Amino acid sequence: MPYHQPPARIGVGPKISYALLWLLAAGSCLTRHAMAQNLDAARLLPTGGQRNATVTIELPGKFEKWPVAFWNEPAAIQAAPIQAAPIQWTATDTPGKITATIPADAKLGLHWVRLHSAESASPLLRFLVSDLPGVLEIEPNDAFAKPQSIDSLPVELHGLLQKSGDVDHFQVKLTKGQRFVASVEANRTLKSPMDACLEIVDERGNVLAQNLDTLGLDPRLVFNAPRDGLFCVRIYAFPEAPDSTIGYAGGDKYLYRIECLIGDVDDLAQGFQSQATPIGEPSQRDMPTAVPLVDNQRRYLFFGTLESPRDEDVLQIETTTPGFWKISAMAESLGSPLDAVIEVLDGANKSLGKQGESGEIKDPVLVGQMKTAGVYRIAVRDLHGRFGPTYRYRLELENEAPSVLGTLANDIIQGKPDKPTEIEVTLERTHGCIDEATVRLLGLGPEYTCQAAVSKAKEESEKKVILKVIATPKADGSAAAAWAGPVSIEVETQGRNEKNLANATSTKQPYLWLRIAP
């Protein structure tokens, strides 16, 4: 059979503030040693590592000054209320080379780290922790006839599509009938700007299996080996944002991880089940699953499977106080073929709200539900009445109080010591909140001060406030010193016990960095 080239195509389409804790953990002082440059372009490759192991990472670019320092996501935020050990980051004696020592009990999944120096700071960088050994891509591996050989499975492959037209090949050995599962983490978790394609090809280059978008824009495929032999896992990508380019995309941000498993494994289960309660059967409108609410608990997580034709799972809850409940059904984004429809009913099964029946919204969300005290039922079904072990869903319920939320355009804030550093905070008032909100900056050293700002409904400050960081005057009249460190912005809505931290739009995280330097 002839060799098939990959097809070219035109692009297609916790609210309690832990700020003080993590600021103490991170510290704000800068090392006195001369430090690295060019951290604004830093990226991690490999993009993750195995528990109870040390991973070596070589940073791109040249470093005339070394070492770097690290800000690490605090354990208390990582897995609250479970305290997980943090990753230990170290700059080696070789400029540009760092290590990540991952504890045996580290939290599985996404971690955040920032590299910083006297001259610059990196953006927040993502690092994935798993229980599998990792292998780093070695170039050249662009041709199916000269792939990178992978000696053992299961494994995680860490790589980079470093330029336009880049195609990576990894060769694995399978036995006849062996089940091989490969899934990509790129766009959804690492936020790589890529729409990846994953293929299995034989030694002649024939495409035996292909997948594009099982997990959002990330592919996943299941392949049963037709014979004993060697097979290639091939990955290439198109731009995340459609454009007129015909061909494959690449660049410094096209990072990926491919999880390669063998056997009868359920690699998707964790996404549905993490910290969630199973919904048992029977669970239907005339016999719903009752869910007791817990005082001071605002969020509930469930998972289930549609097991019979036109199956519908129904939860029943009884609220005792007014609220605004957000109800989310996650299916497609976690790898389920389910076209989820969610519906809220009263205790007599009268429909109060529904989402998903158009078929255009694959992971439907209902906002502002169950506003008054009473008995409610929440139903989940497939739009087409389909069922089976793969028709799974994850249901999330969150009681949202009317409050004021804040966001910033970037996670790094730059300023100069000889004039005020202005920080613009965009505000959103949820569920018609009209209360005042106080916005304050936390984490500054004594060299600088920042007065809190007040947001009032129906005034200029309703949707935006400006915080001003000002140097503390020195007795001798000398210029203020440079300062850099982690900060957070707290938004306190009047009459609420909870205080929200403002997130950066770029990361959806509250981990901010302030740098004031000439």
Instruction: Report pLDDT digits (tens) over 63-77.
Output: 888 999 999 987 654
Compute the average pLDDT of residues 488-496.
Answer: 95
The secondary structure of residue 10, as a DSSP letter, is B
* Whole-number pLDDT of residue 463: 97
Of 381 and 243, the one with more pLDDT: 381
Amino acid identity of 509? Q
Residues 393, 288: Cα–Cα separation, whole Å: 17
Looking at 399, 425, 448, the residue that finishes a domain is 399
Task: Return the closest-CA partner of residue 152 out of 169, 136, 171, 165.
Answer: 171
Same domain, 126 and 175: no
* Whole-number pLDDT of residue 304: 96
Q: Which residues contact 158 (CB under 8 A, 6 or more apart)?
A: 45, 46, 47, 48, 134, 135, 136, 137, 255, 256, 257
Same domain, 498 and 444: yes
Q: Which residues contact 405 (CB under 8 A, 6 or more apart)?
A: 427, 428, 430, 491, 500, 502
Across 217-235, b (16+ Cβ under 10 Å) vs e yields bbbbbebebeeeeebbbbb
39-43, 235-239, 381-385, 452-456: the lowest-pLDDT one: 39-43
**Structural domains in the chain (count):** 4
* Whole-number pLDDT of residue 436: 97
* Whole-number pLDDT of residue 121: 94
Question: 413 in a domain, yes or no?
Answer: yes
> For the chain, what is the radius of gyration of the CA atoms?
25
Looking at 267, 291, 326, the residue that finishes a domain is 267
Same domain, 334 and 380: yes
Tell me if 55 sits within 8 A of 45, measured CB to CB.
no
Burial class (CB in 10 A: 0-12, 13-18, 19+), 165: exposed
Same domain, 323 and 414: no
* Whole-number pLDDT of residue 25: 41
Q: SS3 for 235-296, per residue?
A: EEEEECCCCCCECCCCCCCCEEEEEEEECCCCCCHHHHHCCCEECCCCCECCECEECCCCCC
Residues 81, 489: Cα–Cα separation, whole Å: 22
Compute the average pLDDT of residues 369-391.
Answer: 95
Tell me if 19 sits within 8 A of 488, measured CB to CB.
yes
Q: Residue 36 — pLDDT band, cuts 50, 70, 90?
A: very low
Q: Residue 99 — pLDDT band, cuts 50, 70, 90?
A: very high
* Whole-number pLDDT of residue 189: 94
Question: 351 in a domain, yes or no?
Answer: yes
CA 34 to chain centre: 33
* Whole-number pLDDT of residue 453: 98
Residue 83 pLDDT greater than 70, yes or no = no
Compute the average pLDDT of residues 188-212.
Answer: 96
Domain that holds residue 72: 31-130
Question: 15 in a domain, yes or no?
Answer: no
Question: 4 in a domain, yes or no?
Answer: no
Residue 429 pLDDT greater than 50, yes or no = yes
Same domain, 196 and 244: yes
* Whole-number pLDDT of residue 35: 39
* Whole-number pLDDT of residue 82: 55
Compute the average pLDDT of residues 117-136.
Answer: 95
The proportion of the chain whose per-residue pLDDT surpasses 70, expressed as a percent, equals 91
What's the CATH number where 88 sits? 2.60.40.10
Residue 428 pLDDT greater than 60, yes or no = yes
Q: Which residues contact 168 (CB under 8 A, 6 or more apart)?
A: 137, 141, 142, 148, 159, 161, 234, 235, 236
Compute the average pLDDT of residues 269-274.
Answer: 94
250-254, 341-345, 471-475: the lowest-pLDDT one: 471-475
Same domain, 43 and 126: yes
Output the six-digit token pair for 324. 């605004």
Of 245 and 363, the one with more pLDDT: 363
Residue 371 pLDDT greater than 70, yes or no = yes
Question: 13 in a domain, yes or no?
Answer: no
Residue 31 pLDDT greater than 80, yes or no = no
Q: Going by DSSP bridges, is the β-strand pair 277-278/299-305 parallel, antiparallel, or unpaired?
A: parallel
Question: 73 in a domain, yes or no?
Answer: yes
Question: 66 in a domain, yes or no?
Answer: yes
* Whole-number pLDDT of residue 302: 97
| Kind and range of the H or E run holding 196 | strand 194-201
- Residue 347 pairs in a beta bridge with none
Same domain, 98 and 171: no
Of 26 and 371, the one with more pLDDT: 371
Compute the average pLDDT of residues 160-173.
Answer: 97
Residue 434 pLDDT greater than 60, yes or no = yes
* Whole-number pLDDT of residue 16: 36
The proportion of the chain whose per-residue pLDDT surpasses 90, expressed as a percent, equals 78
Tell me if 341 sits within 8 A of 360, measured CB to CB.
no
Looking at 345, 365, 399, the residue that finishes a domain is 399
Q: Residue 84 — pLDDT band, cuts 50, 70, 90?
A: confident
Same domain, 201 and 164: yes
| Kind and range of the H or E run holding 174 | strand 168-174
Same domain, 229 and 278: no
Compute the average pLDDT of residues 365-393.
Answer: 96
* Whole-number pLDDT of residue 6: 43
Compute the average pLDDT of residues 496-517.
Answer: 94
Compute the average pLDDT of residues 130-158.
Answer: 96
Whole-model pTM: value is 0.87
Compute the average pLDDT of residues 253-260.
Answer: 98
Compute the average pLDDT of residues 320-326.
Answer: 91
Same domain, 371 and 486: no
* Whole-number pLDDT of residue 76: 53
* Whole-number pLDDT of residue 65: 87
Same domain, 200 and 224: yes
What's the CATH number where 358 sits? 2.60.120.380
Residue 18 pLDDT greater than 50, yes or no = no
Same domain, 257 and 145: yes
Compute the average pLDDT of residues 257-264.
Answer: 97
Considering 4-8, 58-62, 129-133, 442-446, the range whose residues carry the highest mean pLDDT is 129-133
The whole-chain average pLDDT of the chain stands at 90
Q: Residue 312 — pLDDT band, cuts 50, 70, 90?
A: very high
